[in-house]
Amino acid sequence: MTTVQEYDLEIAFPEAKAVIHFDDSAYHGNSTMQRVDYIAEYEDRSVFVEIKDPDNPIAQNVPAFENKLNSGKLVQSLSGKFRDTLFFRSIQGKDDLSVVYVVLLSMRRLEAALLLAKQDELKKSIPIRHVDWGRDCAASCIILNIEQWKKRFGDQSIRRISEGAV
């Protein structure tokens, strides 16, 4: 099982063949390419994972994050990260598997309806499908809070480090 740490979150990918820390400057150098945080590779799919953690106890400037979320700038950033990562993987010749894009947005006070609205905005912004494409660029695109992540991937799949053991 591969476990990664992103600030105050520890995330487990129990059945992944590999998990790549894709947003690693050592890997990309001085590139201005936007990129997702992690790519989890499975037998039948690649999962692009982007993590936003304004609930982190030491998060700074949460009001600016909320403004970015409400203004639509966050969705634009998330869609750019997906597209640039997909482009990079395509040029690598690693685009033969379906892609699932998962954004983890740990913001307890964010209402479920707004989370769904942002998910719909993200799907349109990417876009997931086009009439001229032979296939969709992603099998699915979802934005989850921590509780939704646990429901989808299991209670043991994520923990907040500052809160201690699971």
Q: What is the mean pLDDT of each run of 10 residues along the chain (166 residues)?
A: 92 95 86 93 96 92 92 96 96 91 93 92 94 91 95 93 78
Per-residue model confidence (pLDDT) at position 95: 83
User: Regarding beta strands 45-52 and 98-105, do their DSSP bridges make them parallel or antiparallel, or are they unpaired?
Assistant: parallel
Per-residue model confidence (pLDDT) at position 2: 92
Helix ranges (DSSP H) in the chain: 25-28, 62-71, 73-92, 112-125, 146-153
Per-residue model confidence (pLDDT) at position 55: 93
Per-residue model confidence (pLDDT) at position 48: 98
Which of 78, 65, 57 lies closest to 7, judged by CA? 57
Between CA 121 and CA 113 the distance in angstroms is 12
What is the pTM for the complete model shown?
Answer: 0.94
Per-residue model confidence (pLDDT) at position 123: 96
Q: Where are the domains of the chain?
A: 2-163
Per-residue model confidence (pLDDT) at position 166: 53
**What are the structure tokens assigned to 67, written together?**
């403004």
Between CA 121 and CA 118 the distance in angstroms is 5
Per-residue model confidence (pLDDT) at position 125: 95
Class of domain 2-163: alpha beta
CA angle 74, 76, 77 (to 5 degrees): 65
Per-residue model confidence (pLDDT) at position 54: 95
